[in-house]
Amino acid sequence: MRNLISFPNPVNEVAARVVAAGVGVLATTVAATGWTWLLPVLAVGFLLRVLAGPRFSPLALLVTRVIVPRLPFAPRYVPGPPKRFAQGMGAVMASTATVLAFGFDQGGAARVVAGLIVVAATLEAGFGVCIGCRIFAVLMRAGLVPQSVCLECANVSARLSA
């Protein structure tokens, strides 16, 4: 039986970027309209993707099973651990915004955090720049993330420094 709580490795970057576009739309809606009721939807989506990749996330399932197969782009595989780390950062940010909005009645602050999610999602979706992946690489170079977590990432880091 396949482990249901695991993250795929490698990850199709095309799918990751389309998921980021969906996240960007949701976060932009929150930031622009103040519809903070969407924040728990964002937070749970991120959490589901951290725990199991696209297996349980409605957005990721839509993207991987319906949208990406119809796109004219070939899959582009990248290491999974940095993408999982990025999803974890999104989960922390969306959860923070949710707590701000509903726990502390700070809707304005929650909208600012949603705006930060918009920036990260836009960079990923539009330009292929994954902020979480870059932070992951810095943490690996600093020795805070062991090379055993992502051997491929360690090899890429070694090649880049050569």
pLDDT at 162: 44
More confident residue, 33 or 5: 33
Structure tokens at 135: 């932070």
Each residue of 49-98: pLDDT tens digit? 999 999 999 999 999 999 999 999 999 999 999 999 999 999 999 999 99
pLDDT at 41: 97
Task: Tell me: pLDDT of 2 over 70.
Answer: no
Q: Where are the beta strands (DSSP E) in 13-147?
A: 77-78
What is d(CA 162, CA 157) in angstroms, rounded to the nearest whole number? Answer: 9
Q: Where are the beta strands (DSSP E) in 15-146?
A: 77-78
Task: Tell me: pLDDT of 38 over 80.
Answer: yes
> Which band of pLDDT confidence, cut at 50, 70 and 90, is reported for residue 155?
low
More confident residue, 5 or 47: 47
pLDDT at 55: 93
For residue 122, the surrounding DSSP H or E stretch is: helix 107-127
Helix (H, G, I), strand (E, B) or coil at 77: strand
What is d(CA 8, CA 29) in angstroms, rounded to the nearest whole number? Answer: 29
What is d(CA 78, CA 66) in angstroms, rounded to the nearest whole number? Answer: 21
Task: Tell me: pLDDT of 1 over 60.
Answer: no
